[in-house]
Structure 1
Amino acid sequence: MDLLEYQVKEWFGQMGIPVLPSQRIDHPTDLKRLKIRYPIVLKSQVHAVERAKVGGVRIVETTIDAIAAAQNIFNLPIWGELPEVLLAESKYDAKEEFYLAVVLDTALCRPVLLGCKDPDLDGDSAEEKMQHVVVDQEFSPFYARRLALKMGLQGELIQSVSDVVEKMYQLFIQKDLDLVEIHPLAINTAGQIMALNGQVRVNERAINRHPEIAKMANKMVGRSHFANGNGSLDKLDHLEQDGQIAILGNGTGSVLTMLDLVTYAGGQISTALNLRHSFLTDTLPTTFGDRLAKSLKTLANDKNTQVILLNFLGTVPQASEALDIISKFLELDTTTQTNISRSNGNRIRYEEHFPRLVLRLAGSDFNSYKKHLATLKTAKDTLIIVENLDEAVTEAVRLAKLPAYRK
């Protein structure tokens, strides 16, 4: 579970890691009661790492400009995610910027300290530039100081950066984390250091050992209607918004691509689920089929979801089982159609809500399943099977704009 920046900064402040004066913004009008001085930086609180490049970070000088900028950011989807919160933070003039991290190395089964004097890391140069120190015994300040020396730091910076690394490690251990990252750690002309941005990743299996983290997790994964009575989607790796189209994908790339395509096509997302991930808080093992069946069942009972868009790109685990689950799901539709009641003569209404299903199947492995699904008897527009993703998105958006089934 990745925390949002404002949550990370709260933890940093509690540990004594230097952070800028900031204020959480839940609505643009909160800026009328801003307690920090201008100029400020407004930051979209989403999980996307490149939010600044698409307008999710703005520097403003006045309250009027801040409110206008906040309104734009609140309505700006980044990788399909709309922010529910913004962070208003004092502007900071950095002379130098570093990268620091404490990460769990699963191969070594040990924490590793990472540091680099160049925060602009890319895939090709990161390994060459990065310095690391393996914490192979009980932690002591020696490890943090060793990292600072390997980074080539000198003078007072050695001690100040070492202190930050030590506090990062304490946070890492106290909260059972997989990652604590400061990117960047900035130094101004006076030699003061400041954590301008950070990332914290909580170990999934440790969430229930920390009541305060479990509470945060429940809010993050079940913050709307699913949390209070429509099933168990709170245990799936997912994103929720107020829309009509639910997305099911078999990988992070699949889900993110669909989020962007649906948004750009004018559609509104209700739920996005990455079925390749296991449950967030449940320690029992599950299969891809388990998560698919649970998702379809829950979404069928969600009155906000009018269309379910599935994207299977030839790499679905247990493909035959997954397609059988979809077949059984569609059979529920025919059952629903016959389960009608009549009143006032010929007036007919559905007893249950049943979403339309757009299934994108790409790959020769699915050819036989396409033929089988095409033979199933369903209501008009209940099932649409396509191979092209753009076409699937277009169909999903079109169906979402049609009159919904009566509930």
Structure 2
Amino acid sequence: MELLEYQVKEWFRTIGIPVLPSQKIDHPTDLKRLKIRYPIVLKSQVHAGERAKAGGVRFAETTIDAIAAAQNIFNLPILGELPEVLLAEAKYNAEQEFFLAVVLDTAVCRPILLGCKEADIDWESAGKKMQHVVVEQEFSPFYARRLALKMGLQGALMQTVSKIVEKMYQLFIEKDLDLVEINPLGVDASGQVMALNGSVSVNERAIARHPDIVEMARKTANRHSSAEFNKRLSEWDAVELHGKIGILGNGTGSVLATLDLVVNAGGKPGICLNLRHAFPTDTLPSTFRDRLDKALDILAVDKSIQVILINFLGSVPQSEEVTEVIANFVQHNKNEAKTQTLRSNGNKSRRETNLPRLVVRLAGSEFNAARKYLTTLKVPSDASIVVVENLDEAVTQAVNLAKATAHRRF
């Protein structure tokens, strides 16, 4: 579960990480009672990145300017998400900006401290610039100082950054987190250090141990309870857009990467679901098979979805059951298509099909048998299934199928 920036800043302030004076804004008129001195910055509180480029971060010098900017931001969707609150924060002039993070490395099963003297880092070259320290034993200030020294910091700045890393690690342990990130950590002309933005990722399996986080999760789930469809989506790690290509993946990274590739290829993503974990407020246990079955049903009943793009890497539990679910879904569509044909007396020109096409990308040796089996499935002409191993090829196929379906209907 990802927290919004204003929630992260509240945690930072409580544990002693320096943050700017700020105030949550629920409505533009709240700015008439602002307790922060101008100039200020208004930030859209959404989970999507690149807020500044999308227009979700704006500066204001006066109350009138701030209210006008807030009205625009409240009505600005970023990757399909509208903010329910904004964060008003004091303006800060940083002369230096750093990146700091504490992350759980699943490969070594240990926390890792990360630091870089650049905040806006190019992740393709991060290996050369990013410093890291593995917390191999019980944590001590030694690990934080070691990271600061590896970053090339000295004197008072080294001590200050070390203390912040210690606080980040304390928060990481106390809240059972997968990630604590400060990006950027600003340093002004006087040497004052401030966490200007932060990210927190909560380990979903540990949420039940923290009543305050459980309440956050409930509120997040209830935001979309106004309609039955959104209520179903609120149980998932999901992005709801309005395109024709639904995306299913087994990890946040793979889902977002697939979404970006679809957009770059000229396609329009629709509902995107991450099936790796059930939503933390889900009271019933679920398997990956259950989530895949439900996700396919959700996309199938949405008449705007013309293609379902499945992107699974080789870390899916019970891969043979994944094959079974996809095969059952295809067989169900086959029977539905046959029923529609009979009802229209076999006249295909009269038949208006809403059956989604399937593009399945299965990567990894454990899916070898699954790929061979799925390619042998017999499907109706209006419910094709394409099985590939290469993601770029899968995206191209999905975009082409969506365009072909649109041309055929109009």
Gap change, CA 1:235 and 1:328, over 3 Å in 2? farther
Counterpart CA distance in 1 for 2:42 and 2:406 is 32
Counterpart CA distance in 2 for 1:50 and 1:385 is 35
Aligned to 1:184: 184
Structure 1 residues 7-406: aligned runs within 5 Å:
7-225=7-225, 233-239=233-239, 247-250=246-249, 251-253=254-256, 256-257=259-260, 271-275=271-275, 277-281=276-280, 286-287=287-288, 289-297=289-297, 305-308=302-305, 310-312=308-310, 320-327=323-330, 330=333, 356-361=354-359, 372-374=378-380, 388-390=397-399
Counterpart CA distance in 1 for 2:81 and 2:261 is 12
Counterpart CA distance in 1 for 2:35 and 2:405 is 45
Gap change, CA 1:149 and 1:254, over 3 Å in 2? closer
Gap change, CA 1:236 and 1:149, over 3 Å in 2? same
**Deviation for aligned residue 1:24:** 1.7
2:79 aligns to what SS in structure 1? coil
Gap change, CA 1:62 and 1:394, over 3 Å in 2? farther
Counterpart CA distance in 2 for 1:398 and 1:85 is 40
Counterpart CA distance in 1 for 2:22 and 2:8 is 12
Counterpart CA distance in 2 for 1:279 and 1:396 is 32
| Aligned amino acid, residue 323 of structure 1 | I
Counterpart CA distance in 1 for 2:186 and 2:235 is 37
| Higher alpha-carbon deviation: 37-46 or 117-126 | 117-126
2:93 aligns to what SS in structure 1? coil
Gap change, CA 1:253 and 1:190, over 3 Å in 2? closer
**Deviation for aligned residue 1:395:** 8.4
| Aligned amino acid, residue 286 of structure 1 | T
Gap change, CA 1:8 and 1:298, over 3 Å in 2? same
Counterpart CA distance in 2 for 1:192 and 1:236 is 41
Q: CA RMSD in A?
A: 4.2
Gap change, CA 1:150 and 1:136, over 3 Å in 2? same
1:272 aligns to what SS in structure 2? strand
**Deviation for aligned residue 1:369:** 6.7
**Deviation for aligned residue 1:89:** 1.1
Counterpart CA distance in 1 for 2:311 and 2:139 is 46
Gap change, CA 1:29 and 1:333, over 3 Å in 2? farther
2:356 aligns to what SS in structure 1? strand
| Higher alpha-carbon deviation: 315-324 or 289-298 | 315-324
Counterpart CA distance in 2 for 1:259 and 1:36 is 42
Counterpart CA distance in 2 for 1:396 and 1:23 is 48
**Deviation for aligned residue 1:166:** 1.2
Runs of at least 5 residues in structure 2 that lack an aligned partner in the other structure:
341-352, 363-370, 387-395
In 1, are the aligned partners of 2:99 and 2:119 still within 8 Å (CA)? yes
Counterpart CA distance in 2 for 1:333 and 1:30 is 53
| TM-score between the two structures when normalised by the length of structure 2 | 0.74
Counterpart CA distance in 2 for 1:217 and 1:101 is 23
- Alignment identity in percent? 54
Aligned to 1:405: none
In 2, are the aligned partners of 1:255 and 1:273 still within 8 Å (CA)? no
Gap change, CA 1:370 and 1:388, over 3 Å in 2? farther
Runs of at least 5 residues in structure 1 that lack an aligned partner in the other structure:
338-354, 377-382, 403-407
**Deviation for aligned residue 1:183:** 0.9
* Number of corresponding residues: 371
**Deviation for aligned residue 1:231:** 7.5
Counterpart CA distance in 1 for 2:185 and 2:99 is 6
